[in-house]
């Protein structure tokens, strides 16, 4: 019994330290490093076949797991824990030998997971009305998380309707997107192009749902920096 008590006490201590870290502004730096890798490096590795899809999934699992510890609100902790466990279970089923495929359901839970993670980080960004270097990094993190959310959205649309975006290269090479992990590099690219309102034109949405998602990302890309800058400037001038 004493050993069980010691183990429980140790686990509580570890959980407390993890939670304190992710609630601290310094955690924004680690999250930024992970997001830069996920958004800008991982797609290149996927495209050239230098990374295993299991590793790709582990990167997203880490992001979802971090979301559990990024809040002190009991409801949000329960919600992010539930979403994480569902996502984890579905991904384990996908990599198991069972003749069951829950790819679409897994991606839908991924959307909810990423949405919750964005909301949690947005709350952290403006807590205590403080303005510092780490909060600026936190603002960048939310922006990059929205781009991943957009990529997941285009993937879900593809799985639901059979297509979401189409590009010149695909038409020339007669190569179609499959809506699976291997296409993440294309989806995150188009999500970033939409979010930054660059619009190169090499990829275009092919149905109403993907068009509306692209427009939504463009709207967020225009409004988000203005709102965040106004908020942070407002906090700094009221001190």
Q: What does each C-alpha distance from 31 to 120, 176, 205, 219 come to in angstroms?
A: 13, 33, 30, 24
Instruction: Tell me the pLDDT of the chain averaged across its residues.
Output: 86
User: Which residues, in sequence order, are CB contacts of 115 under 8 Å at separation 6+?
Assistant: 149
Q: 127-144: per-residue pLDDT in tens?
A: 887 888 898 899 999 999
Return phi, psi of residue 206, to 5°. Answer: -115, 0
Q: Any idea which of 16-25, 146-155, 227-236 has the lowest mean pLDDT?
A: 227-236
Q: 47-91: per-residue pLDDT in tens?
A: 888 888 888 888 999 999 999 888 888 999 999 999 999 989 988
Q: How confident is the model at residue 117, as a pLDDT? A: 95
Compute the distance between CA of residue 23 and CA of residue 18 in angstroms, rounded to an integer.
9
Compute the distance between CA of residue 145 and CA of residue 120 in angstroms, rounded to an integer.
11
Q: How would you write the chain as a 3-class SS string?
A: CHHHHHHHHHHHHHHHHHHHHHCCCCHHHHHHHHHHHHHHHHHHHHHCCCCCHHHHHHHHHHHHHHHHCCCCCHHHHHHHHHHHHHHHHHHHHHHCCCCCCCHHHHHHHHHHHHHHHHHHHHHHHCHHHCCCHHHHHHHHHHHHHHHHHHHHHHHHHHHHHCCCEEEHHHHHHCCCCCCCHHHHHHHHHHHHHHHCCCCCCCEEECCHHHHHHHHHHHHHHHHHHHHHHHHHHHHHHCC
Owner of token pair 């939310």: 142
Task: Please count the residues of the chain.
Answer: 239
In the chain, % of residues over pLDDT 90: 48
- pTM of the entire structure? 0.91
72, 20 contact by CB (below 8 A): no
Q: How confident is the model at residue 153, as a pLDDT? A: 95
Q: How confident is the model at residue 75, as a pLDDT? A: 94
Q: 160-217: per-residue pLDDT in tens?
A: 998 899 886 654 444 567 667 788 999 999 999 999 999 888 899 999 999 999 999 9
User: What is the pLDDT confidence band of residue 5, given thresholds at 50, 70 and 90?
Assistant: low
Q: How confident is the model at residue 93, as a pLDDT? A: 83
Q: How confident is the model at residue 132, as a pLDDT? A: 84
Angle among Cα 178, 220, 47 to the nearest 5 degrees reads 30
Q: Residue 98 pLDDT > 60, yes or no?
A: yes
Domain ranges of the chain: 2-237
């Amino acid at each position: 019994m004493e050993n069980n008590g010691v183990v429980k006490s140790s686990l509580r201590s570890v959980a407390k330290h993890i939670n304190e870290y992710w609630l601290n502004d310094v955690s924004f730096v680690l999250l930024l490093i992970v997001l830069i890798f996920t958004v800008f490096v991982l797609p290149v590795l996927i495209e050239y076949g230098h990374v295993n899809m299991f590793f790709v999934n582990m990167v997203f699992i880490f992001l979802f797991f971090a979301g559990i510890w990024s809040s002190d609100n009991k409801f949000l902790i329960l919600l992010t824990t539930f979403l994480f466990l569902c996502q984890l279970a579905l991904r384990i089923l996908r990599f198991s030998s069972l003749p069951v495929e829950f790819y679409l359901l897994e991606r839908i839970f991924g959307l909810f997971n990423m949405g919750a993670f964005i909301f949690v980080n947005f709350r952290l960004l403006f807590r205590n009305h403080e303005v510092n270097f780490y909060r600026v990094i936190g603002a960048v993190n939310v922006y990059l998380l929205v781009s991943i959310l957009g990529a997941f959205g285009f993937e879900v649309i593809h799985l639901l309707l059979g297509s979401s975006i189409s590009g010149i290269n695909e038409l020339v090479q007669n190569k179609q997107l499959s809506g699976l992990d291997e296409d993440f590099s294309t989806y995150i690219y188009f999500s970033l192009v939409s979010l930054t309102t660059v619009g190169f034109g090499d990829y275009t949405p092919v149905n109403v749902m993907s068009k509306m998602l692209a427009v939504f990302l463009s709207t967020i890309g225009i409004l988000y920096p203005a709102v965040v800058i106004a908020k942070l400037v407002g906090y700094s001038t009221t001190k």
